[in-house]
Structure 1
Amino acid sequence: MARSALVVIDMLNPYDHQDAELLVPRVEAIIEPVAELVARARERDDVELVYVNDNHGDFSADRHEIEKRATQGRRPDLVKPILPPPECAFLPKVRHSAFFGTSLEYLLSHLEIGTVVLTGQVTEQCVLYSALDAYVRHYDLAVPPDCVASIDDELGRAALRMMERNMSADLSPSEDVLAR
């Protein structure tokens, strides 16, 4: 059976940036489905849980520093329910794609992952660019729309359409992802 990886992108956020006011209501809507999907992934032996998070320009920040800043930020209620469990992989990133400048490609290859499930923020930026990078690396791709948050609804919908049409992404809702 092909293994899957649930990749949680940029959910450890202090919400102190320019687009935070637009993003926060959309993140509020995805917290529960993301937390439920993470819980299901943790119960499965054939699913690897991987968090990839922006280091916000601090190249000395490790996982614990990124978690601390997010939980002490403006919306800890949007962070605490989806904090990464200690046993999962955590990769800091510096640009939009979860693959760029990280060891994600090596990790997925080493774990013999066939399907990458992307969740997190921002749909029209980091999720879209990560999806493209997964696609060009020949991974099957799933992006549950109820587990991604956009800054701009129109651009978020367009990004999802691009992922489905151009990258053959499965856009099933989160309750159907990892259900097999």
Structure 2
Amino acid sequence: MQEAMSDTAVLVIDMMNTYRHPDADKLAPHVAEIIDPLSRLVDEARRRDDVDLIYVNDNYGDFTAEFSDIVRGALDGERPDLVKPIAPQSGCQVMTKVRHSAFYATSLAYLLTQLKPERVILTGQVTEQCILYTALDAYVRHFPVVVPPDAVAHIDPELSDAALTMMKSNMSAEITPAAECLR
């Protein structure tokens, strides 16, 4: 068996969202701001052979849900306009998570170890929660992290700024615009 290798792994974290939760009114406007740069990044990743596109999404406590159920629920949710442009296509690499980090109780670490990316680009929501905790877990596993601030959405702008600063300072994350991530 030949080992799979990619230059880059792009993680799309928690973007399959129904926007039917207490923070949805605060979060959705910030997601709307990132949808264009994120969808361009996702489209570019789909076109490239040297990039692995991986969707990791919360199962929202439904341990019977297939990933397709989560996508369908998001598309039928309050803001399908925030889901359609970046929804996974057939054959995409997908996995569900149960807590904040995309690594927690998932096979993501194993998958990335097999793919051997030179860097991992974190996109999605929420910057000060799931993106931050995923960045820390990637860092402690020695995966170089890139975070495009225009492709991650926040609930609280001050906490988001602090999270980006922490990722850069404490985890050596590269903070670069989405349009420059796959150059």
Q: TM-score, normalised by structure 1?
A: 0.97
Partner of 1:137: 141
Tell me the distance in 1 between the aligned counterparts of 2:138 and 2:80: 30
* 1:111 Cα deviation from its structure 2 partner: 1.1
Tell me the distance in 2 between the aligned counterparts of 1:143 and 1:177: 9
Partner of 1:42: 46
Q: Does 1:20 align with 2:24?
A: yes
Contact in 2 for aligned 1:2/1:115 (Cα 8 Å): no
* 1:87 Cα deviation from its structure 2 partner: 2.1
Percent same amino acid among aligned pairs? 58
Partner of 2:173: 169
Partner of 2:7: 3
| Residues 46-87 of structure 1 deviation map (CA, whole Å, 9 limit, x = unaligned) | 110000000000000011100111011111111111101212
Match of 1:57 among 56, 61, 64: 61
Q: TM-score, normalised by structure 2?
A: 0.96
Contact in 1 for aligned 2:6/2:115 (Cα 8 Å): no
Partner of 2:150: 146
* 1:44 Cα deviation from its structure 2 partner: 1.2
Contact in 2 for aligned 1:4/1:115 (Cα 8 Å): yes
Q: Does 1:122 align with 2:154?
A: no
What is the aligned length?
179
Contact in 1 for aligned 2:59/2:96 (Cα 8 Å): yes
* 1:2 Cα deviation from its structure 2 partner: 6.1
Is the partner of 2:28 in helix, strand or coil? Answer: helix
